[in-house]
Amino acid sequence: MSETKANETKVIAEIDENEKDVVEVVERPGNYTHHFSEEQTFGDKKYKTLTFYFNNLTGSDIEAIEEELTAQSKYIISPEVSSLFQGMLAARAANVSHYDIRNLPVRDYMKIKNKARDFLLNAGY
């Protein structure tokens, strides 16, 4: 797993899913690249790693999650302790479906949702 500390930028060279091209991932504070315990398939794409760009999220993303939950009659009082909210936030940060995140093996799911929690707490939630 790659983690960044405050004010640290890290560049990671990775091989893409076809193992042909090297892909450069730039990590900045608040972003997180997760290395899955086993290769995962989301839709028709396979992933060995997935980068969560938490710093690219906006207030609109937070409100969209709240609106989606309200439409489902689910009310979250404290997003920083809600696995559901954190999973939805992580999915938005990685541009994947929330269902892809929630269906991960628990070891991967917990690490990812905890990174979303850490992001919320560091953002002042």
Buried b (16+ CB within 10 A) or exposed e, 93-107: bbebebebbeebeee
Residue 104: give the domain boundaries: 10-122
112 pLDDT more than 80: yes
The pTM of the full predicted model, rounded to 2 decimals, is 0.77
Residue 57 token pair: 């999220």
Q: From CA 72, how far away is CA 108, in angstroms rounded?
A: 26
Residue 72 falls inside a structural domain: yes
pLDDT per position as a tens digit, 70-81? 999 999 999 999
**Number of domains present in the structure of the chain:** 1
Residue 2 falls inside a structural domain: no
Strands (DSSP E) found in 2-107: 10-15, 22-27, 31-42, 45-53
How confident is residue 124, by pLDDT bands cut at 50, 70 and 90?
Answer: confident
Residue 18 falls inside a structural domain: yes
Residue 1 falls inside a structural domain: no
Residue 4 falls inside a structural domain: no
Residue 46 falls inside a structural domain: yes
Q: Are 26 and 9 in contact (CB under 8 A)?
A: yes
How confident is residue 17, by pLDDT bands cut at 50, 70 and 90?
Answer: low
pLDDT per position as a tens digit, 20-60? 544 455 555 689 999 999 999 999 999 999 999 999 999 99
Longest Cα–Cα distance of the chain, Å, equals 46
